[in-house]
Amino acid sequence: MFEQLQTKIILVFVGLLAIVQIVSLVLVKQETHKNAIEQIEQQLVSGQEIFNQLIRYRGKQLVNGIRILASDFAFRDAAATQDKATILSALENHGRRVNADLSILISLDGKILADTQATNTESGSRPFPFPELLKQVKANHVAGASIRFGTHVYQFILVPVKAPNTIAWVGMGFTIDDQLALELKALTGLEISFVDKQLNGNRILASTLDSQLEYLLSFIDAHELSFNATSTIELGSEVYISYITKPKPGQRVNLSTILQHSFTQAIQPYNKLQSTLLTIYGIAFLAVIIGSSLLAKGITHPISRLAAAAKDMQDNGTSAPILIQQRDEIGQLAHAFNHMIKSIADREEQIIQQAYHDPLTGLSNRLYFNQQINTAIKSGGPRLVFTVMIISLERFDEINNTLGHNIGDKVIQRMSLQIQETCMDDIHAIARLSSNQFIIFHIDTHNDSLIIAKQIFEALEHGITYKDIVVDSDVHIGLSQYPSQAKDAKSLIQNADIAVHLAQQNGINIAYYDASHDERNTARLSMMHELRHAIETDELELFYQPKVNIEQGEITHVEALIRWHHPKHGFMPPDDFIPLAEQTGHIIHLTKWVLNTAIQQGCAFRQAGVDIKVAINLSTKDLMNRSFIKMTEELLTQHQAQADWFVLEVTESAVMQDDKKATEVLNELNTMGFDLSIDDYGTGYSSMSYLKLLPVQELKIDKSFILDLPNNQDDKAIVQTTIELGHRMGLTVIAEGVEDQATLDILQEMGCDMAQGYYVCRPANITTLQDWLRTSEWSPYHQS
């Protein structure tokens, strides 16, 4: 590119010079050609003038000579005597005096008495072949013409011989020959040709041209050329600027003179000048090429360096400062560029710091860690083996909630330091993966990943100490190995995460990623897909399990329980898909379906005149969802149902998770008229004080306390206490998991309000339930 700039600069210089040179050459050429032509034309004009004068002079010479002859007494005497010999010698003598080439005496009857060109045998009485001249001379006493006489063409004058009356005519002529042409050439410097223009071409009478050019000239059609004006004639390789005189009209010989000057020769000196100019131009051209190259290099070299530095910046994000000593604009540019490089580097460092680091611990973040792994993979080669391990601090939210975020942050910082202290020398990178997770990149040269994981675990096992507080740390570590388990950073981290979950689920400290676990995940994901399908295609069904009012001995409630008849896997227990639906967000669809179906059924009971409330289990997630209230209202409106026909069951843990929000939702549901029931009571924190704040009407004791009730004194105590406590708080208490009469009896004894379990009735579909309700001992249908 900068080579191009250099080329451009050179091209501009050279181009401009070339234009100037070409223009000047063309101008010089045009001007010199014009000058040459003008000069030639001037020469032609003056040459023509000289020519005219010379011819006139010759004419005068002739006239004078002939006058002398005609008036010579002796000649007149001889002419009068008609003595041929005397006449001839007189003609010759006088002719010689004026250098006439032809002298001729013509009798009054038009016969040639003597002529100096005739041989002896010819002399006699031939008629003079130009009667028009005789006529002219009779009229004007003198006649002149160009005549072809014998083999030559003459400039010819004819006058009478008077004695004193006209006794004869005498004529004299100069031949129009090469000698005349040469004489004129000597005077004018022009090429002179005399041409007898004839119909079939030009008869060259005389010429100063080479015989070859003369030959060519004879073919020039003078008709095409303008007379008495300059024109250009090409003869062979030469160009002649020519002036062609117009033949005098009424002449025997169409005599035309062609005055010429070779243009080719005229521009000879210019050609020499041109070659000199070309040489000078050539030298100047080379000088400009060299000069502009140097100049261009002076400009482009620093620019190339700047460009290289810029490219370096582009590719590597950094560049060495450029040393350019120039003080001109380029120097300033280089200075600015250096400044810019430094600024960019500083800013980039800052950005990288922000982008790739966790501000709390100062460790890398997930993004940067990803890059590190990918870089390692890219440059590692085929024998690279490394491990990625995630260290997960469990229940960090609880720490934040109970101890405050400030302490939470400090715990994380401590943990970070502790991990680094333990293994910094052995590992290759560490990052904070999420709020409660760290991730380590370890190249497994010594196959010691597990040892490091154990060391880390042990370091954290005994809790994290901050100031005087020791925070219990429940830590799980998940490992994933490259390349055997995954081939890219994303998958490695995902796998390590799965390994962490595996460890959590299995209650172990350290777990390796297990591909089969991953398959289960995949199965779970596909199951969610199938669940959505199931909602749409009615593979789901609600079963109902009756709750019996112990005191009344009558069924007053039924709990709606979801059943999934999977087309491939058959019956799917709710525990298999509900948590998954909660995790994946599908629960909202499931809840809607359940609510819709249960409300419909509730309405059906009312229509059938049975006073049975339908209990619906709510998910934790439902309580987090603000739109849940709206959805419930809409469904009630849609089915024209009343909220007090239904009981909503929520688990204790659900209420505990996000107390504030859940409480709000529960309050609202309660206000709408729903009865609220705490499900699985006793499995969680079971904080009675907390429960008191909730708008709850019912307490369901978890079946784990009921199943062995008749035999377990502890359970009896807990159940007894719970019932009493519940009643004190104005709550209805229900026991689930009632599987025999004994348990029912105990519960009745303890004052439990309601019982639910296989002993009462197993969950059944609506048809079976309807039948059972009619026939049961606790039937709500009062037979009269």
Positions touching another protein (CB under 8 A) are 51-52, 55-56, 59-60, 62-64, 66-67, 71, 73, 76-77, 79-81, 141-142, 144-146, 155-157, 159, 162-167, 176, 245, 248, 251, 253, 255-257
Residue-wise DSSP of 371-439:
HHHHHHHHHH-TT--EEEEEEEETTHHHHHHHH-HHHHHHHHHHHHHHHHHHHTTT-SEEEEEETTEEE
Q: SS3 string of 101-114?
A: CEEEEEECCCEEEE
> Nearer to another protein by C-beta: 138 or 490?
138
CA 78 distance to own-chain centroid: 115
CA distance readout (Å), 517 to 399, 520, 584: 29, 5, 18
> How are beta strands 437-443 and 386-393 bridged, if at all?
antiparallel
Q: Residue 571: in which H helix or E strand, if any?
A: strand 570-572
> Nearer to another protein by C-beta: 136 or 435?
136
Minimum CB separation of residue 141 from another protein in Å reads 8
Minimum CB separation of residue 70 from another protein in Å reads 9
Cα torsion at 454, 458, 464, 469 (round to 10°)? 170
> Nearer to another protein by C-beta: 52 or 522?
52
> Nearer to another protein by C-beta: 5 or 163?
163
Minimum CB separation of residue 157 from another protein in Å reads 6
Minimum CB separation of residue 31 from another protein in Å reads 35
Please tell me the distance from the alpha carbon of residue 590 to that of residue 656, in angstroms, as a whole number.
22
> Nearer to another protein by C-beta: 157 or 590?
157
Residue-wise DSSP of 170-226:
EEEEEE--HHHHHHHHHHH-SEEEEEEEETTEEEEEEESS-HHHHHHHTTS-GGGSP
Minimum CB separation of residue 44 from another protein in Å reads 15
> Nearer to another protein by C-beta: 166 or 455?
166
Minimum CB separation of residue 255 from another protein in Å reads 6
> Nearer to another protein by C-beta: 253 or 587?
253
Per the document, the length of the chain is 784
Please tell me the distance from the alpha carbon of residue 496 to that of residue 665, in angstroms, as a whole number.
37
Asked if residues 528 and 584 have their Cβ atoms less than 8 Å apart, the reply is: yes
With 0-12 CB in 10 A as exposed, 13-18 as middle and 19+ as buried, what is 513? buried
609 Ramachandran zone, left/alpha/beta (phi>0; psi -120 to 50): left
CA distance readout (Å), 219 to 197, 215, 216, 238, 680: 11, 7, 6, 15, 133
Please tell me the distance from the alpha carbon of residue 329 to that of residue 601, in angstroms, as a whole number.
87
> Nearer to another protein by C-beta: 52 or 212?
52
Q: How many degrees, rounded to 5, is the angle at CA 560 between CA 555 and CA 565? A: 130
Minimum CB separation of residue 33 from another protein in Å reads 30
CA distance readout (Å), 358 to 178, 270, 688: 115, 86, 41
Minimum CB separation of residue 158 from another protein in Å reads 10
Minimum CB separation of residue 79 from another protein in Å reads 8
> Nearer to another protein by C-beta: 91 or 330?
91
> Nearer to another protein by C-beta: 176 or 492?
176
> Nearer to another protein by C-beta: 203 or 589?
203
> Nearer to another protein by C-beta: 62 or 590?
62
Q: State the distance between the two ends of the chain, measured CA to CA, in whole angstroms.
A: 105
Minimum CB separation of residue 256 from another protein in Å reads 8
> Nearer to another protein by C-beta: 59 or 483?
59
Residue 518, classed as helix, strand or coil, is helix
From the list 615, 336, 418, the residue with the least C-alpha distance to 322 is 336
Q: Which amino acid is at 758?
A: Y
> Nearer to another protein by C-beta: 47 or 144?
144
From the list 270, 269, 263, 257, the residue with the least C-alpha distance to 47 is 257
CA distance readout (Å), 397 to 135, 375, 521, 685: 149, 34, 25, 16
From the list 540, 560, 621, the residue with the least C-alpha distance to 586 is 621
C-alpha dihedral sign at 585, 590, 591, 593: positive
Minimum CB separation of residue 238 from another protein in Å reads 25
- Neighbour-count burial for 645-676, b at 16+ CB within 10 Å, e otherwise: bbbbbbbbebbbbeeeebbebbebbbebebbb
> Nearer to another protein by C-beta: 108 or 403?
108
Q: What are the structure tokens assigned to 338, written together?
A: 């250096």
Please tell me the distance from the alpha carbon of residue 414 to that of residue 506, in angstroms, as a whole number.
27
> Nearer to another protein by C-beta: 73 or 571?
73
Minimum CB separation of residue 18 from another protein in Å reads 52
Residue-wise DSSP of 314-359:
HHHS--PPP-----SHHHHHHHHHHHHHHHHHHHHHHHHHHHHB-T
CA distance readout (Å), 559 to 200, 683, 745, 748, 784: 137, 20, 22, 20, 27
Minimum CB separation of residue 190 from another protein in Å reads 15
DSSP helix, strand, coil percent of the chain (3-state; round to 5) = 55, 20, 25
> Nearer to another protein by C-beta: 230 or 338?
230
With 0-12 CB in 10 A as exposed, 13-18 as middle and 19+ as buried, what is 766? middle
Minimum CB separation of residue 168 from another protein in Å reads 11
> Nearer to another protein by C-beta: 30 or 53?
53
Minimum CB separation of residue 146 from another protein in Å reads 3
Minimum CB separation of residue 60 from another protein in Å reads 7
- Contacts of residue 123, Cβ cutoff 8 Å, sequence gap at least 6: 84, 88, 112, 114, 115
Helix axes 268-316 and 2-71, enclosed angle (nearest 10)? 170
Minimum CB separation of residue 174 from another protein in Å reads 9
Minimum CB separation of residue 272 from another protein in Å reads 37
